[in-house]
Structures are given as structure tokens and as C-alpha cells.
Amino acid sequence: MSNQTEQKQQGDGQLVRGLKSRHLTMISLGGSIGTGLFLASGGAIHTAGPGGALVAYAAIGFMVYFLMTSLGEMAAYMPVSGSFSTYAGKFVDPALGFALGWNYWFNWAITIAAEISAASLIVKYWLPESSSLLWSALFLCIIVFINYLSVQAFGESEYWFSMIKVATVLIFIVVGIMMILGIMGDNNAGFSNLTAGAAPFNGGFMALLGVFMTAGFSFQGTELIGVTAGESEDPAKNVPKAVKQIFWRILLFYILSIFVIGTLISYSDPLLLNADITNIAVSPFTIVFEKAGFAFAASVMNAIILTSVLSAGSSGLYASTRMLWVLAKEGKAPRWLQLLNGRGIPVAALAVTAAIGMLAFFASLFGEGVVYMWLLNASGMCGFITWLGIAISHYRFRRAFIVQGYSLDELPYRAKWFPFGPIVAFIVCMIVIIGQGYSMFREGNVNVYGLIATYIGLPLFIMIFIGYKVKYRTRVVPLHECRIKD
């Protein structure tokens, strides 16, 4: 893109289209690879067996594929940084767009705090006596600096962060398959772990449902492609290209990784249950690499998971900053948040979002983290609400597109199997949202506190939606009135 074009965009108060095709591809890929795969996959196999984990992750992956094709169709045709917030306002109800925008901003602003907290815990693997506060401050400064430089700097950092994750997973799969075939490492089990005891399914339907929820959280972040479309050099070409690869990436990275872990490690191995952000040594990836004879596997995985966490924090700051900027542009947030610097970065929105993330982090240091845990629980539901909004918006967009006489040939990218895709995504998201608190009902005893903490994000979203709707008396936009083209 020429400097003249960039200056024109900045002069018009617009973001700079500086993200290349490779950036979009790797950002959408990196969004779905993180601690959910490196750590939570072990617990999923322990809970539901290798077969149950495969079924749960495949089902969520199937839904995410349809969801991303829906988002891809709208983003390629109408690339805006507000993405699903803007689409919901145009094609469903302005109140839904308002609520989705603030919901998504809140989700990522709180997640930033979670990521910098996790990063400081990871560093303690090497430096157990060091200050968590110092490391958290350093990591927050790093991700703010990356986002402040330029959108190209963000895209380039995400490209290399994602490249590290992709390379790790590919090496893991190749090494794992060679171990399964007896070419390298020490694997005397063959395929027996897939059938031993209660494997491949363990714990029945309720265990499968629990892993279903975990898998849903693992895939959150893939919708970032919709936000980045507003700053892509050629969204009509680059967005479809990135979306088309999502299904195969999900299949390759998640399904094959879980197959390898389930084959090489027994689902009953207690190490799988103990994998978490504070214990990298028992990540299923670490266990497999150690079985293959790789020295320092834990330290290497620790470094990779650290880059993964920092990548998630940087992506979260980017997404929430752009969403807040768009809300300000649309008159749904204070106007001063529209401020852009000379490089097209929404600096006011960036500063506010970073400040909220910092405050949420400090909340984790007081009162045994009770306030912070409530904030985190509230944000946990936000991702699924966003996905629900995407499915509804696409269904309405396509119907309005036809009702207003447009030809499907005008779409740069067309989602397959409409309306099956958005309907399936809607149903699965509803099941996941409703089923979040299933574990609170055990043996007839209801965990009321846990139930409220789990679902607090839902009433907050509904209150924001109803509040805006009542104040501005909005209505569902009739199909023939939807603004397909501005």
C-alpha cells in the first residue's frame, strides 16, 4: 500500500489496511492454537477417553468451521473492524450490535489480565523466586508496545508467534506418528491405549458434555479474522483464503494431536489430569517429547507456551481496541475514543483497554482474587455469545441479500450449505451456553455460588441489550431495510 493511500485513510479517520494475506492466515490459525491444545487436551482425554475427546473436539471444530464461513462471507463483502458488532446492528437489531460490541470488548479486556497473569506463572518455572508483579508489568508493556507501533508490527509479531506454535504442533504430530509406528522412542503400547479399560469412551455422556464445553473454549479466538478484515490489504481475496484453510487446520492440529496423545498416553495416567498453566512439565506434549527421548522437553514447551500466552494477550488487546474504536465511531461509546495517531492506531481505545486489563490484574492480587474470578467467569460466557451473534447475523444477512434483489454472484466468498451452517452453529452454541453449569448439579446438591459465577455473563449481556433497546426504542430491522451497502 502506498504512503499516499495510507495518509488518505488516516486523514479520513480510518484504520490503515496494513495486514497482508500471510498475516491474516496466521492470525486466524494462531487464534485456535494455545493452552487449550497444549494443556487442556490432556485433561479432556483423561475425562472422556481418547474417543470422547476426539468426538467432542471434532463436533466443536465442525461448528467453528461453519461459523467462520459465515463470518468470512460477511467480512469479505463488508470488511469493517467492528465485524460482528456492526453486522448485528445492520442486519438484526442496533441493540444487539451494541450489546455484542461491549460484550466482546469486555471479554478480551479481562482476558488480557488472565494472559499476563499466566505468563508470569510460566516464567516462575525457570525463576521461582522472581516477582510476579514485575513480570506481569513487563509483559503488559510488551503487548501494548507491539500494538502501539503499527498494525503491521502487530501482524508481523502474530505471524511469528503463530509460526512457532504451528511448527511445534507439526513436529509433535510427526514425532508421535513415528513413535506409534515404532520408528523412534519407547512405545510398547501400540494402539492398546485406545481400547484399554473404558477407552475410547470414558465417563459416559456427562463426561463427553464436559469436554464439549472445554473444546468450545479452546477454539475461541478464531473469530479474530472478522476484526482483522477491517485492516486487511485486500479483504475480498485474503479473508476467503484464510477461512478456507480453517477446516483443515482444525482437523490437522486438534484431531491428529489428540489421536497421538490418546495413543501414546493412557487416559487413566494421572499426569494428564495435572496439566495446567503452573505445571508445564506434565503437558501431554511434554510427556510425548520426553518419551521420544528429547532432553529439556519441559523447558522448550514452557517457552512455546509462553509465546502462545503472549500472542493471545496481544491479539486480545488488538481485538478489544478495534472494537472499542468502532463503538465510538458508531456513537455507542464516548467520541474521544475515536482518536487515531499518525500511524492509524486508535491510541485512546488502546490506552483505556490496557488500563482495564491492568486494573483487572490488580484485582487478582486482592481479596484472594474473588473480584477477579467473578470478572473472569463473566467473560467466560462472552465468546459463545459472540459466536451466537455471528450465526444470527449471517442468517439475516443472506436473507436480506436475496430479498433486496442482489445476486449471490456478487459475494467475493459464499458460505457453503446455507442455511444449514448458521443454524447448526446457533444450536451448538445454545447447547454450550445452557450446558455451562451442568457440573453444578451433582448428586442432587446444587452449587448456587458456582451456578451464579458461571452464568453471570449472560444476564449482563441481556441487561445491556434491553437497556439500549428501551432507551433508543430500537426494533428488529426488516429484511428489506437492512443496509447491505452504505
User: Looking at 53-57, 235-239, 336-340, 467-471, which range is the least confident one?
Assistant: 235-239
Tell the residue number behind the cell numbers 487436551, with chain if given.
41
Q: Are 74 and 319 in contact (CB under 8 A)?
A: no
Q: What is the mean pLDDT of residues 337-354?
A: 92
pLDDT of 483 > 80? The answer is yes
Alpha carbon distances (Å) from 158 to 224, 280, 417, 425: 12, 23, 32, 27
Instruction: Report the alpha-carbon distance of residue 407 to residue 420 in Å, rounded.
Output: 20
Quote the percentage of the chain above a pLDDT of 90: 34
Alpha carbon distances (Å) from 365 to 278, 373, 432: 17, 11, 31
Q: Are 263 and 427 in contact (CB under 8 A)?
A: no
SS3 helix, strand, coil % of the chain, rounded to 5?
75, 0, 25
Q: How confident is the model at residue 9 (pLDDT cuts 50, 70, 90)?
A: very low
pLDDT of 347 > 80? The answer is yes
Tell the residue number behind the cell numbers 490503515, with chain if given.
16
Instruction: Report the alpha-carbon distance of residue 169 to residue 215 in Å, rounded.
Output: 17
Helix axes 41-77, 420-435, angle to 10 degrees: 140
Predicted pLDDT of residue 280: 58
DSSP class of residue 446 equals: E
Its pTM stands at 0.89
pLDDT digits (tens, 9 = 90+) for 161-213: 888 988 899 999 999 999 988 888 776 666 777 777 666 888 777 788 878 87
Amino acid letter, residue 212: F
Tell the residue number behind the cell numbers 520408528, with chain if given.
183
Predicted pLDDT of residue 89: 94
pLDDT digits (tens, 9 = 90+) for 193-205: 777 766 688 877 7
Q: What is the set of domains in the chain, with CATH numbers?
A: 14-470 (1.20.1740.10)
Predicted pLDDT of residue 1: 37
Predicted pLDDT of residue 2: 40
Predicted pLDDT of residue 10: 42
Cα-based angle 117, 24, 14 (whole degrees, multiple of 5): 90
Amino acid letter, residue 152: Q
Predicted pLDDT of residue 91: 96
Instruction: Report the alpha-carbon distance of residue 414 to residue 235 in Å, rounded.
Output: 14
pLDDT digits (tens, 9 = 90+) for 404-413: 999 999 999 9
Predicted pLDDT of residue 237: 86
Predicted pLDDT of residue 113: 84
Q: How confident is the model at residue 147 (pLDDT cuts 50, 70, 90)?
A: very high
C-alpha cell at 364: 487478582
